Amino acid sequence: IGCYGPAGHRTFSLNTLSLSHMQSLASLASSTGAGAGRLWLSIEEMLSSGLVLQVSPLVAVLGSFSLSLIFVLSLYVWKFVGYEDKNRDAPGTIQRRFLSAILSCFCSALLVRLLARPAVDGEIGLSLPELLGLRCDGQLYACLSCLLLTAVLFVGPLVQHFTAVWDGEAEILSFPGGHWIMARNLILAPVTEEFVFRGCLVRLWVTASFPAPVIIFCSPFCFALAHTHHFIEIMRRTGHKKTALMQVAFQVFYTSLFGMYSTFLLMRTGSMLAVILAHTFCNHQGFPALGFFVSEHDSLYRHRLWLGALYLTGIVAFGVLMAPLTSGFTSTFWPAVNTPSTL
C-alpha cells in the first residue's frame, strides 16, 4: 500500500516501513499513554488526598475580597479583546461571561488548594471536593430538605402565581428572554456563584474560626457587593444615576438576604448541590410581585387578603422549620467539624 506524489513518484509505503519505525511509533504511543495516566493519577491524588485548611481571620477576609474581585473583573476582561458586551442579555455576552465565571471557579478552587496543607498522622483531612462541599453525606436528603424549606418560604408567591394562571392572567411556566437567559439564571449563575461565594469563600471563613453567626451574617456581603457592577449596565441602559443607584441598592439588599440564607443552608447541610438547587429555585421565582396589594387595577387585588395571609403563613412556617429541616447533617462547614450541625 503506497502513496504517490506529483509525477507518480512514491513518497511513502507501508511495505517499506522498517521494524525500527514500528518500534518507535509503539514507544511514542506507550509514553503518551503513560504520561496521560500519570497526569490522571496526579489529579486524582490531588482531589482525594486528605487536606487541612486553617487560615487567620485576616487571610480569610482578604481572600474573600480577592475572590469577589476576580469574579467581577473576569466578566469584563473581554473588553480588552474587542468585545463591548453592552447588553448583558445578549447570547454572546452570556456565553463569554460563563467562560469567565468558570475561570473564576478554577482560580477560587486553586486558592483554597494552595492555602491547604496535607494532613499528618492524627489529623482529620478532607479531600478538595469535601472542602468545597461537592461531596458530603446525605446529599439527596439535603437537596430535598433545602428545596422544601425554600418552597415553604415562597408558598404565598406560588399560590399567587397559580391563582393568576387560574384567572387566565399568566402561564404555568414561562421563560422570558430566550434559552440563554434561562440557562444563565437557572444553571450558570447558581452553579458558579455558589461555588465561589459559598464553597470557597465560606470555607475560608469557617477555617478562620469565625463564629457561625458572623459567617452567616457577614460573609454574604462579599456576594452582595459583587453585584454593584450592575450600576454601569443600568446607567448605560437608563441614563439616570438615581435610578441606577436605587436599583443597585435594592439588589445589594436582597442578595445579602439570600446570601445569608444560602450560607446557612451550606453550613447546616454541608451540601453544595442543595444550595445550588435552592438558588435555582429562588432565581426562577424572582422577587415577589407585590403590586396587587395596592393596585385596584390588578386582577389579583380582590384576592389580596387571603393571599396576604398565605404570605405571612409561609414566612412564619419558614422560621419554624429552618432548624428541623436542616438538622442531623454531618456538615464540615459547621464550626464543630464532623459533628451534626445544631443550633
Residues of the domain holding 228? 56-117+126-325
Q: What is the DSSP string of 135-169?
A: S-TTHHHHHHHHHHHHHHHTHHHHHHHHHHHHTTS
Residues annotated catalytic, as ranges: 193, 227
Answer yes or no: is 34 within a domain.
no
Q: Which amino acid is at 174?
A: S
Residue 49 is placed in which grid cell? 488526598
Hey, what's the cell of 296?
Answer: 385596584
Beta-carbon contacts of 213 under 8 Å, excluding residues fewer than 6 positions away, are none
In tens digits, the chain (343 residues) has pLDDT values of 444 454 444 444 445 445 565 666 566 656 666 565 555 445 555 555 789 999 999 999 999 999 999 999 998 899 888 888 788 889 999 999 999 999 999 999 999 999 999 998 878 889 999 999 998 889 999 999 999 999 999 999 999 999 988 888 878 877 777 899 999 999 999 999 999 999 999 999 999 999 999 999 999 999 888 888 878 778 877 778 888 888 888 888 989 999 999 999 999 999 999 999 999 999 999 888 898 898 888 888 998 999 999 999 999 999 999 999 999 999 999 875 444 454 4
* Four-residue CA torsion sign, 292, 297, 300, 301: positive
Considering the domain boundaries, does residue 79 fall inside one?
yes
What pLDDT shows up at residue 14? 44
Q: Is 47 contained in some domain?
A: no
Q: What is the pLDDT of residue 136?
A: 86
Can you read off the three cell numbers belonging to residue 35?
Answer: 504520561
Q: Count other Cβ atoms within 10 Å, centred on residue 139.
A: 17
Q: What angle is formed at CA 37 by the lines to CA 33 and CA 38, rounded to 5 degrees?
A: 120
Instruction: Give domain status of residue 256, yes or no.
Output: yes
Which residue(s) pair with 118 in the sheet? 51
**Cβ–Cβ under 8 Å, residues 275 and 332:** no
In a domain, 198, yes or no: yes
CA pseudo-torsion sign 86, 92, 98, 99: negative
Residue 20 lies in a domain: no
pLDDT at 1: 43
Give how far Cα 318 sits from Cα of 37, 152, 323, Å: 50, 6, 9
Residue 208: the pLDDT is 95
Report yes or no: 275 and 265 within 8 Å, Cβ to Cβ. yes
Counting every residue, how long is the chain? 343
Residue 35 lies in a domain: no
Quick one: cell of 271? 451540601
Q: Residues near 208 by Cβ (< 8 Å), separated by ≥ 6?
A: 55, 56, 57, 59, 60
Distance CA 52, CA 126 (A): 7
Domain assignment present for residue 49? The answer is no
Q: For residue 209, give the C-alpha cell.
A: 474560626
Query: How much is the pLDDT for 120?
Result: 87
**pTM for this one?**
0.82
Report residue 84 as a C-alpha cell: 463591548
Question: Alpha-carbon distance 329 to 46, whole Å?
Answer: 26
Measuring CA to CA, which residue among 281, 134, 102 is closest to residue 198?
134
**Which of 46, 340, 68, 102 shows the shortest CA–CA distance to 202?**
68
SS3 call for 3: strand
First to last CA, the chain: 77
* Total domains, the chain: 1
- DSSP secondary-structure letter at 126? B
Distance CA 155, CA 165 (A): 15
pLDDT at position 19, please? 59
